[in-house]
Amino acid sequence: MELSGKRVGIVIATGYHDHEFWFPYYRFREAGADVLVAGPETGTVRGEGVDGKNGLPANVDLSVEALLKEDLDALYLPGGIFSPLRLRSHAPTLDLVRASMDAGRVVAAICHAQWILVSAGVLGGRKLTCPGDMRVDVENAGGTFVDEPAVRDGNLFTAVYFGYLPEQFRQMMPAIAGEA
């Protein structure tokens, strides 16, 4: 899948799930996309790693506020526990999610990143998947839980956890490329 000329924003904070950041990061780059990594602060953040500590370091190049000003084709939200918890209470991240959804950009979330979608208030009438422990959150936010590994609803792409990244990417990559 060729994504040359496409711009993808990935938003993370300390406590991101290592697989759910690095797989998308390198997959988008492999396809030729310009990948912009943003967060509440720039600099180095660490993933969850083993038992929630000692994860891989990642460099955050842009603030979320700066990413809001970029012309993106897609927004990707990796899971984890502490990164989504931080981002779901970060007003600029919620603004970015709402703006991306409103613009019809591809928006993807995996695992507990669906908490960010819940807090952004963008799930009304949408079908999505998530870990079972979040089902009530999704339903209380107006979303419809679907018990499948990966789900597409228009421009929204969700997956349960990192084991289903291939399924999510098979659905999402053609949409970013502009295919039906």
Whether 39 maps to a domain, the answer reads yes
* CA neighbor of 13 nearest in space, from 25, 23, 5, 21: 21
Task: Exactly one of 17, 19, 90, 112 is catalytic; name it.
Answer: 112
Whether 149 maps to a domain, the answer reads yes
Whether 1 maps to a domain, the answer reads no
CA atoms within 13 A on the CB side of 173: 19
- Rounded distance between C-alpha atoms, residue 7 and residue 67, angstroms: 11
Residue 137's domain spans which residues? 7-177
Whether 143 maps to a domain, the answer reads yes
Whether 49 maps to a domain, the answer reads yes
Structure tokens belonging to residue 109: 């979330």
Whether 75 maps to a domain, the answer reads yes
Whether 2 maps to a domain, the answer reads no
112 is annotated as an active-site residue: yes
Q: What is the mean pLDDT of residues 25-43?
A: 98
Q: Structure pTM?
A: 0.97
> What is the average pLDDT score of the chain?
96
Greater confidence (6 vs 51) lies with 6
Whether 108 maps to a domain, the answer reads yes
CATH number of the domain at 53, please: 3.40.50.880
- Confidence (pLDDT) at 20: 97
- Confidence (pLDDT) at 180: 64
Query: How many domains are contained in the chain?
Result: 1
